[in-house]
Amino acid sequence: MLKLYSYWRSSASYRVRIALDLKGLDYEIVPIHLLRDGGEQHSDAYRALNPQQRVPFLIDGDVRLGQSLAILDYLDARYPQPRLMPADARARVEVLAFAQAIIADVQPLQNTATLDYLRDVLKIDEAQRGEWLRHFIDRGLSALETETAARPGTPFAFGEAPTLADCALVPQMFAAQRFGCDMQRYPRLVRIAGHCNTLPAFQRAHPARQPDAER
């Protein structure tokens, strides 16, 4: 069975859980607590497995992979049904660009390690860290709101079926809400995420449904 090292509230892990659930794959969650004891991602045992010291990390037989986008790409190639990336070159690059605006541009700035550095090394207080988060999340989501509002009729970010773009969007919307962003600024994205969340695969992947979820 596939094994996913994951943290319930990690948006990068959440992306991969959605993809695994959409593809109907059986997988075991191995929880890595990002905060406890200075962060289990830094433990000797986990570092030996993943020197990048982040989640998610996937084991599928002899395949061992970190980086959510690489994992999503691997899953789509290895377990192609249903496809998360369109076959058409132009459609594919549009989906990828949407996902990357979240995965590469927004999420690293809201990551625990970034926030800890702001707090512990640069001595930035909690209110200012909140400003930082909301600024960068809003910059990313506002752009994606404009882009998706230009194609209003589709239930998902691209078309009639979920793609990698939705796998990236839903966790980012969850994080934006958690960090106190004004969600009314993104009506189209809220509608798309709401539609995704009616699907059982998205529901199963939700942080609150994870074995390591904390109340």
Ligand X SMILES: N[C@@H](CCC(=O)N[C@@H](CS)C(=O)NCC(=O)O)C(=O)O
Q: What single DSSP character describes residue 10?
A: -
Which runs of consecutive H residues, i.e. helices, occur in the chain? Answer: 11-22, 44-49, 68-78, 89-100, 107-110, 112-120, 126-149, 164-178, 187-196, 200-205
Give the span between the Cα atoms of 29 and 177, in whole angstroms.
Answer: 25
User: Applying CB under 6 A, does 172 fall inside the site for ligand X?
Assistant: no
**43/203 with CB nearer ligand X:** 43
Least spacing, CB of residue 208 vs ligand X, in Å: 16
Instruction: List the one residue from 10, 50, 148, 172 that touches ligand X (CB under 6 A).
Output: 10
User: Applying CB under 6 A, does 17 fall inside the site for ligand X?
Assistant: no
**101/188 with CB nearer ligand X:** 101
Contact 12, 41 (CB under 8 A): no
Least spacing, CB of residue 35 vs ligand X, in Å: 9
Contact 167, 173 (CB under 8 A): no
- Point out which span in 6-14, 43-51, 88-96, 117-125 binds ligand X (CB under 6 A): 6-14
The residues, ordered by sequence, that sit 6+ positions from 207 with a Cβ below 8 Å of its Cβ are 8, 9, 14, 174, 213
Phi, psi of 5 (to 5 degrees): -80, 125
The interface with ligand X within residues 54-113 (CB under 6 A) comprises 54-56, 67-69, 103, 111-113
State the DSSP H helix or E strand holding residue 197, giving kind and residue range, or none if neither. none
Least spacing, CB of residue 151 vs ligand X, in Å: 26
Binding residues for ligand X, rule CB under 6 A, total 17
Q: What single DSSP character describes residue 123?
A: -
- Tokens 């549009």: give the residue: 94
- Point out which span in 33-41, 84-92, 161-169, 176-184 binds ligand X (CB under 6 A): 33-41
Instruction: List the one residue from 5, 18, 22, 41 that touches ligand X (CB under 6 A).
Output: 41
Task: By CB under 6 A, name the binding residues for ligand X.
Answer: 10-12, 34, 39, 41, 53-56, 67-69, 103, 111-113
